Structure 1
């Protein structure tokens, strides 16, 4: 049975404030290795969570997060601090996921297993604390249209303010507010149906 407790309204751990993270990014741009370490540590969890909700392949999350940071470090010299470093980095993460979809679409996938889907399902970890709830949450989020899911994940799970989520998603703030409200209504309806 799915319960409303599965839909967190705020992140479990509060996200680090954007000002110090942006300052670390600017200091790292100037060559400070400690600032670079602080910057990566502060945003690694947010990037992983965001990428996990954007991509359909849980096995690719770590690779996409690493690709995000590699891209960010390669273009850190262009970061000027006009937006928060979190917004800038999540925009890079979004492009990394989109590029991975494009790359996967261009390559055929081969499998020598007749029932490859069952083999993949059996390879997934089971019995971990929160696993079933996480699967239920992913199923609920998968029922949302892409734009609404992205807005919901950015604001409700990653803890971004609406303005930052709008910049990361490339849309107006009002659109993000509307998408989040509609996502909440849809999720509430799905939970009511399941009860």
Structure 2
């Protein structure tokens, strides 16, 4: 598949002298190529995450895409910006991965909520789970003038989860059009298809996303909350778990709150079910907790650590992403596993 991309309105090439690093890179200078792509690495990684729903898959996709770009740089004709061309290479790389790995899921995608607390729930290893994304990895690159979603809105859990319900071509078309501001004609070139097909894919994708993504977005909700108040909410949630305080926890939740814990299949809906689960499992049944605040998917998040007697330390246990409605928590998504922590820059243990 050719990786030559025509100029795009999302980032049209600047006329004039060619970047000397580009000429050096074409001649095989890998240091020059690194200088070229380094300013774009973070935003390209975020694009791969939106496509794939996994930080680890995004790591693999970006590495593969940059290798493809390095090998194919001689075919880059300069009719577009390097940034636009790299987005084309990255998108095609992600589409190849989508074809082989399928979509990622959250527990809510697998079945109805549990009507009673499940103690000793076992992880499902045969499910490809959606993962959290560290805000430090969000790209700062500009979106196109016609982009609908801002960069942080486009990594919110609800949006990325909704994308997973789309076939790869619809997913790519929506992201390129609504997040990056590419035109339908430009997307058709990227995906080797017709403008008519792109417009059809966009219409179907928009319908699914509108049905699955609540309004307002988290970014709009968070902008209405004072920073100090937001810290109070996060601290209240965290200390309630550390102290086993069900009353304080309940006061922070909406009546229709949900709590899910990938890779566990069971999830809970409604304050009665959630508090019953909290009382029987994290508040009393797990042991002693400590926490560190962080941020994931453009949302407040907390890294929790669980005491380990054998090692005499608190070990990394889960990244908890909070979805707010007003000043209450409407969703708790607990991503269990120490493998989530390195990308957030959080330590493996606390003394």
Name the TM-score class by shorter chain. 0.5 to 0.7
Larger radius of gyration: 2
- The TM-score with structure 1 as length reference comes to 0.61
SS in 1 for 2:94: helix
- Out of 7, 20, 25, the position equivalent to 2:14 is 20
Deviations along 1:14-43, one digit per CA (max 9) or x if unpaired, are x9733039x548534257889745631453
Q: Is the 8 A contact 2:40 2:83 kept in 1?
A: yes
Higher relative contact order (CA 8 A, sep 6+): 1
Say which SS state the counterpart of residue 52 (structure 1) adopts.
helix
Output the CA distance in 1 between the equivalents of 2:37 and 2:10: 12
User: Which string of whole-angstrom CA distances, capped at 9 and with x for unpartnered residues, describes residues 136-168 of structure 1?
Assistant: 111222233332221001111233232221111
Structure with more of its chain in helix, by fraction: 1
Q: Indicate the RMSD between aligned Cα atoms, in angstroms.
A: 4.3
Q: Map 1:60-79 onto structure 2 (within 5 A).
A: 60-79=57-76
CA contact under 8 A between 1:87 and 1:167: conserved in structure 2? no
Compared CA separation, residues 126 and 157, structure 1 to 2 (3 A): closer
**Whole-Å separation in 1 of the counterparts to 2:133 and 2:55:** 14
The verdict on how the C-alpha distance between 1:42 and 1:19 changes in structure 2, with shifts beyond 3 A counting, is farther
Match 1:81 to one of 78, 81, 90:
78
Q: Structure 2, unaligned stretches of length 5 or more?
A: 1-8, 103-121, 137-151, 216-351
Q: Which one of 115, 122, 138 corresponds to residue 123 of structure 2?
A: 115
CA distance in 1, matches of 2:199, 2:95: 23
Where structure 1 has 5 or more consecutive residues not aligned to the other structure, the ranges are: 1-14, 106-113
Q: SS at the partner of 2:49?
A: helix
The answer on whether the counterparts of 2:159 and 2:209 sit within 8 Å (CA) in structure 1 is no
**Contact 2:188 2:194 (8 Å CA) reproduced:** yes
Answer 1 or 2: which has greater strand percent. 2
> How many angstroms does 1:88 deviate by?
3.3
| Number of residue pairs the alignment of both structures matches | 169
Aligned to 1:164: 186
Q: 1:102 to 1:191 in 2, by over 3 A?
A: closer
Residues 176 and 26 (structure 1 numbering): CA distance in 2 closer, same or farther, change over 3 Å? farther
